[in-house]
Structure 1
Amino acid sequence: MIQQLKRIFPSLILYNEHEYYPPDTYKWFITNNKDIIGIEEKELTIKENNILDTFLQPYSIQFPPPTSEEVEWRKIINGEKMQIKALPKTYRFVYFIFKHNQISPIKFKESMETLFYNSIPILWENENEGILIEEISNLTEEWVSYEQIIDVLMSDLYVKINFLVGPSMTSIDFASTHYKTLIDSARTTFTDTEKQVISFTEALPYLLIDQMEEPFQEELISLILKECRSDEDLLREILTFFQCNLNVSVAAKELHMHRNSLQYRLDKFFDKTGIDLREFHQAFTVYLTILVNMHREV
């Protein structure tokens, strides 16, 4: 169908093939195969538009007009030899995703600019997923807390959102590669974690797990967790212990347990596996294995 329409309407484009933001001079439709196509409005007569409305579903794409800075960043991401006029000393990419139809791209951008107190470049992958480009121009500036942003979005706009915060960068030489890596990493990570904000370094174990073959995952669980693999409460307590930087007192408070009770549970794991969770390398192995176990249950 698309090729036939293309012969009639040469301006026809597929939404997911379009390099930049969908132009506002296009009329958009969804085909029976769920492809989103656009045809330049000036190419459509009233009669043709009515016919298309009959057998195709009209579709509205509402992106904010790209700023000049966003256009320059998009060219860099696409591998073009461009230079931003006032390149920040440091920047980082921050992946975000929220559920379909929770908030429009225009409203989301307005909210971000309010929270950042100025314009922030946003490169959209689709209507609910994209990359924020956070910039720092001097040493006195600080990175934004995305935990706080989530609280504001949830309380004011009732929007549930996830962020994967990339590492700070000082050169655009590898910006294109890093952009694609961050998006792929985030899509993998958020299938395995319920955390709403995660850093790129925190995401690495999930990326390693995704590369593991299933037989190796099973062997790892059997060798490391042994009979504890089925004790969900114990594994949850150990994971909390790790997330609290191996601090028993803090973890016990987080779990609403007495410190001695948690210590007894950790000692129980040692008795059954011979692994000392206070030793970093052993603790990391157990942490990774628990994540593998959780990954297999998803």
Structure 2
Amino acid sequence: MARLALIGFGRWGKKIAKTLGSLPGVDLAYICDPHVTKDSVRTSLPITPPPEIISLPELGKKQGIDGILVATSGSTHFDIALPFIEKGLPVFIEKPLTTSLPQAQALEKAAQKNQSPVFVGHIHLYNPAYRKTKELLPTLGEIRLLWFESMNNGPYRNDMSSLWDWAPHDIIMALDLLGQKPTNVKAWQYSWLRPQTNLADMTVASLEFQTPTKVLLHMGWLSPVKKKKLTIIGSRHTLVFDDTATKKIALYENLGPTVEAGSGHIQSIIPQTPQVSYPEIPAGEPLMEEMKAFVSTVHSRATPNTPISQGVEVVKIIAAIEQAAKST
């Protein structure tokens, strides 16, 4: 039995709690959130027996806890997670790992020193549709572009920009698909709602690598339509992974013109009609798969599939995007 404590019972924390409550061999013993009561938790969380509602200082004194989950605002992750990492506990931290690179590196150092398996909430790596996308990647030919579009009407935050909220998903997929780190970053940011702050409403960024592959990121929280789309343009075929669509993967074969070798001349300006197929995706719910993986980490104490080193690299790239945007 894995005896766990959840810190943060907001919109996403409730989903985590319900998922944990449905897993066999899991005892969600404690919930820590100053904005909830026993009655509100019992109403929204059908777990028997219900978790005990306690304060963060009280949780720090509890014995017999096997793992901690942190699902609070990104800017609070460092202060909340560090004491439990220093105890050597397995700790799940929602994305982003932190909202500053020095804090992320400090958590990594503490995790190494105390042998704490830190599991970063990069949920898309547990998405069956993403895993199918990765499986199909070699069939696309030479990868020319990964084009990410991530936006919605909100959620609006006061502690971090839309970049920090949306980019971790896209960056971790890019790193995972390409197996390499970017060598150069270019970026543009725009803030219309609160221009007096550094909380960008929209970010456009490009990542360059040692290979010819480029990554284009477009994210923000002022879109009337939710988008969570990755378009992968290859030399042979193009794949679209749309996480908001019913058919989440569309494979376009023979998309694009025929280009003459050497001259670069396009034989016809009329586009070919591509063949479109929709690959079958294995069943599975991303959050359920992620929570199963964390519980496995709690039992084994092995390095997670989404380790803290991965989270630090994502934070490093986001910080580089912010820095690049300041010079444009």
TM-score, with length taken from structure 1: 0.31
Bigger proportion of residues as strand: 2
TM-score, with length taken from structure 2: 0.29
Bigger proportion of residues as helix: 1
